[in-house]
Homo-oligomer: A and B are copies of this chain.
């Protein structure tokens, strides 16, 4: 006999996630504000449609929700905890504020924050990267569901809000990469290389992937010495970049930001550390050692 669960929110992300849960053998009661969006699921075995969000819940059961923003996440799950009861579990997949997650966690049922990385195509193929935070008993209960929708599940901490924070941190890395690519492409194109060619050189090689993997670990561990590439030389390159950008009339706000952090680092005696020691300036400003 299949386990029966509830699912609220069938948008671009929610729909393929729900489908994967159905295909994995769960019985689903689904709800979406615009009811028609549920249609593609209703042909699947064991899927039924509810007329109100709280109707997807049964006492002591499990409900997943995937909503577009904080307001929707709060509205669509109002009354949910009452229906689920203390023995129930709400698994919130939405990208919402850590503080909203904390509020949702205090409504009287179990709660796991499980935001995901990946766009609709990865949701469809069950290749999402899934975060999970909450009481360990709740996380253990949510885990098989999360394994059914993602290729990797990272269990983070007891505080649900921490998963939402890591999700926002990840989205910030993505945004920063968008900004940096745009500035880099503009810079190179103004030096005669079409942006498509620059993209090919800089983004189809393992260059950037290696950087995150290699430097990510180094920054986290604080191993800035011996320097693979010194901060002094990194700053030299930042200066060459900005001089060339200035000469070709390319605004590079992210470039200036990095340059100023390099300069402050040099002034504070960190010239001969690895250029990833740029992070020290950031950590100290955040009050972290």
Contacts and interface: CB of A to CB of B under 8 A. Distances in A.
A26 interface: no
B187 A204 contact: no
A49 to B, nearest CB: 26
Given A250-B263, A253-B257, A234 B175 contact: yes
Interface in A118-162: 119-121, 129, 131, 152, 154, 156-157, 159, 161-162
A69 B266 CA distance: 17
B193 A166 contact: yes
B162 A215 contact: no
Chief secondary structure at chain A's binding surface: helix
Interface string A147-186: 0000010101101011001101111111111111111111
Given A175-B278, A211-B177, A252-B172, A129 B95 contact: no
A238 B94 CA distance: 15
A165 B187 contact: yes
Interface in A169-217: 169-193, 195-209, 211-213, 215-217
Contact of A267 (B68, B154, B286): B286
